[in-house]
A and B are shown apart, each in its own frame.
Chain A
């Protein structure tokens, strides 16, 4: 019987009905302390420390702080210290501040070759879907489930429904994976994939880099999806093989990690990739999004009215006329070397507009080192960008990187929720290229037509 990629991985990991074995458990400082407390309270051990790895990312200052003891915010320091102590006590490998491998958990997993095709991966973080880009089943979980996985290496999980989003055509010039996923969320809605594991397919996906695929899968949760995934292919193998945790040759089983041609899905959606433009969110959910060539839409609900009020925008305002105070390039969505290269390409030899504070936050220390080896740090610095250390940074403002109330931010992150990047801060989600161009122009511009001149 024809099976989908999801069904293949699901069946491979079913220990018992509704009990899924976990191949890799990623841990960070925010959603784990209470889980470790639970283990201690009940005298339980970590079943498989060798299938578990931790890093500090959410709380980490991006100013080059290289040791936990130097984190100035007391609560942040206590939380990272707790992670270090818990990992030491339970024998879990950890990449904390000062480690070459430290970085955003969804950046370092793939980077270390720990994320591999065919695996089940969980993490106490909703953006765990990122790892599905490798032909894996990656599910975001809460703290009780983190404790459960630590103790049992299994996740209680009723089999989710399956959904395929197929794209016709390829992405146009200047249109990125970020635009593809933003347009998709705009189309199906922020609850359009609730209860489903989503497989993305079509020429636009097949020709996409691993980094682009990670961006797409990453934001599956913003459409409510349980997980996002993409078939493993040569692009996948080329990325994975030879990395520290990965095999040196492609295991034969990996080549079967794609949906059979006749596989059926509970729901199928077909979208036109060729028709997608660079996208900009205007409101307070990732689904409130329009092409950069468009306007802030007329409100059609109380929710829209509230969003316009929070964002300080009037319906009918052309997106290109929206002026910015800050630009943030970073987050588990768009902070990998390919993202930084793409942004650097736009800004090379140009200057950040007056009145705009722009920052670039590499997703990991390894990305930072690679970018510096390529001279990208100088490209950014010379243009007036602040070149920072690795971490989650301004994606969620749990560290010193926050926007002030009323400040308008072009951000390559994944959530434009009220207060997400700072209380009262106004976030617009865009691709790295669009963020870079907006930093130079001081307002949004259509990166496809933009020649770099101030307007």
Chain B
């Protein structure tokens, strides 16, 4: 995963609330066993609507509860592959937001009014270190989990970080792990 410092550029706007991951990447594309190449299927059905417009800019401004529903990581894969590096929205589905941070697609939660202002401005800069979004005519700060921020700033591999805590995991398994069930012992 590449490290994130700032993300700067034009914004694309999707003015819909409760956009579920089934819309972001419909079910038929979940059969692929690869991790790449999902961008061309992004919003596959909605993209056929006559007034649909979603340029591949660095930043997507979306509506409330963006990415609700299914846990499919194919949704962030598709958004990232399409060209987005960050999504700004009033709120996100929990699993989707976590999935985004795992692949270095930055989810930024801002008040609806700020989202609207950024959409109108048409461009923005997101500074992860200072947790600030700047756009022509405004700025706003955003919250992010300190652990997630550290990982994104460094571009660190989550698994490597946890494996480095192997001693703690060993100790947990030795002293505190609950007995069974062993899946391998079933018929």
Q: Measuring CB to CB, which residues of chain A are less than 8 angstroms from any residue of chain B?
A: 12, 15-16, 18-19, 21, 23-24, 30-31, 33-34, 37-38, 42, 44, 47, 49-53, 58-59, 73, 75-76, 78-79, 82, 91-93, 101, 112-114, 116, 118-119, 124-126, 140-145, 147-148, 151-154, 156, 158, 190-191, 194-195, 221-222, 224, 226, 244-247, 285, 301-303, 306, 396-398, 415, 417-420, 423
Contact = CB atoms under 8 A, between A and B. Distances in A.
A118 B181 CA distance: 12
Interface in B23-47: 23, 26-28, 30-35, 45
Contacts of B72: 30-31, 142
Contacts of B91: 191, 194
Given A15-B168, A142-B73, A194 B93 contact: yes
A236 to B, nearest CB: 15
Interface residues of B, number: 56
B102 A145 contact: yes
Given A79-B33, A148-B162, A152-B162, 13 more contacts: A30-B72, A50-B183, A75-B31, A82-B33, A91-B184, A114-B181, A153-B169, A158-B145, A224-B68, A224-B93, A245-B186, A303-B18, A418-B23
Given A23-B178, A49-B184, A194 B159 contact: no
A126 B165 contact: no
A114 to B, nearest CB: 5
Interface in B63-97: 64-65, 68-73, 76, 91-95
11 contacts: A16-B165, A30-B30, A34-B35, A126-B69, A126-B70, A144-B73, A145-B102, A151-B163, A152-B163, A154-B169, A303-B16
Contacts of A42: 159
B187 interface: yes
A19 B68 CA distance: 24
B50 interface: no
A169 to B, nearest CB: 30
Contacts of A190: 18, 65, 68
Contact of A156 (B27, B147, B187): B147
Contacts of B92: 194
Most A CB atoms within 10 A — which of B31, B172, B184?
B31
A73 to B, nearest CB: 8
Interface of B: 16-18, 20, 22-23, 26-28, 30-35, 45, 64-65, 68-73, 76, 91-95, 98-99, 102-103, 145, 147, 158-159, 162-163, 165, 168-169, 172-173, 176-178, 180-187
B186 A244 contact: yes
Contacts of A119: 178
Contacts of A222: 69
Most A CB atoms within 10 A — which of B30, B93, B103, B165?
B30
Contacts of A302: 16
B23 A15 contact: no
Nearest to B100: A142
B33 A191 contact: no
Nearest to A414: B69
A142 B16 CA distance: 23
Given A191-B68, A303-B18, A418-B22, A112 B186 contact: yes
B169 A15 contact: yes
Contacts of A34: 33-35, 73
Given A75-B31, A140-B71, A141-B95, A50 B182 contact: yes
Given A144-B73, A194-B94, A224 B65 contact: yes
Most A CB atoms within 10 A — which of B45, B91, B184?
B184
Contact of B99 (A19, A112, A113, A144): A144
A79 B71 contact: no
A59 B31 contact: yes
Contacts of A398: 27-28, 30-31
Nearest to B178: A23
B71 A142 contact: yes
A113 B27 contact: no
A58 B180 CA distance: 27
A195 B94 contact: yes
B21 to A, nearest CB: 9
